[in-house]
Amino acid sequence: MKSVRYIDLTRSISNTMKGVNIETATRKSVEGWNASTLHLYSHSGTHMDAPWHFEVNEQTIDEFPVNRFFVDTWVVDMAPVTPQQLIQVSDLGPVKDLVKKGEGIILKTDWSFHAGSTLYRDGLPRISEELAIWLGEKGISLIGVEGPSVADVNNLKEVTRIHEILLGNDIIIIEGLTNLDDITQPKVQLVALPLKVQKGDGSPARVIAIESSR
């Protein structure tokens, strides 16, 4: 009998996040129902980038074909990493020879454990230019990381260059993943669903890993 596990890789959006403000709009005891007003930075929490984020082309988050949100994805266990570690192709280990065109890669670094700290943003492990170019040459469909970015957010030249390479090669970028330590298989089906924000440069996304076994 086939067994299926679903692992939620999504951080909960809360007022503790930069760029997030959740206000009470109505209350059951007063207006008759509970509702909130959400003010969200488009790249808050677990989120997906669109090419328009760095203007590599005019494709926005609402224009992605929905089949792009379902990707057979390899999990590369790199944990533990050092602050500001530059991730190279060699760090992919056996996956670099196994991954095929159209598949995805997520990098398990345990960096999500630093969420809420200064280190989470300022010391994140980064994708090297060598790796970014290699991912494009391999025809990778998706790259996912635990940090809030694939590159140093305090270095505009670096963060621009890495995003331009990845997005320019039609690679979906997912940042802010969590719970990767709950994944037990080297390869999963990844489901990543962003909000359909018209002309959006990016969006918070619900990301789920599906493990199957017989």
- CATH number given to 3-13+42-213: 3.50.30.50
Token digits of residue 180: 């990767």
Q: What is the dihedral of CA 121, 125, 130, 134, to 10 degrees?
A: -90
CA distances to 128, 145, 166 from 137, rounded to whole Å, are 14, 19, 10
pTM of the model: 0.96
Q: What is the pLDDT along the chain (214 residues), one digit of tens a residue?
A: 789 999 999 999 999 999 999 999 999 999 999 999 999 999 999 999 999 999 999 999 999 999 999 999 999 999 999 999 999 999 999 999 999 999 999 999 999 999 999 999 999 999 999 999 999 999 999 999 999 999 999 999 999 999 999 999 999 999 999 999 999 999 999 999 999 999 999 999 999 999 998 7
List the beta bridge partners of residue 86.
126
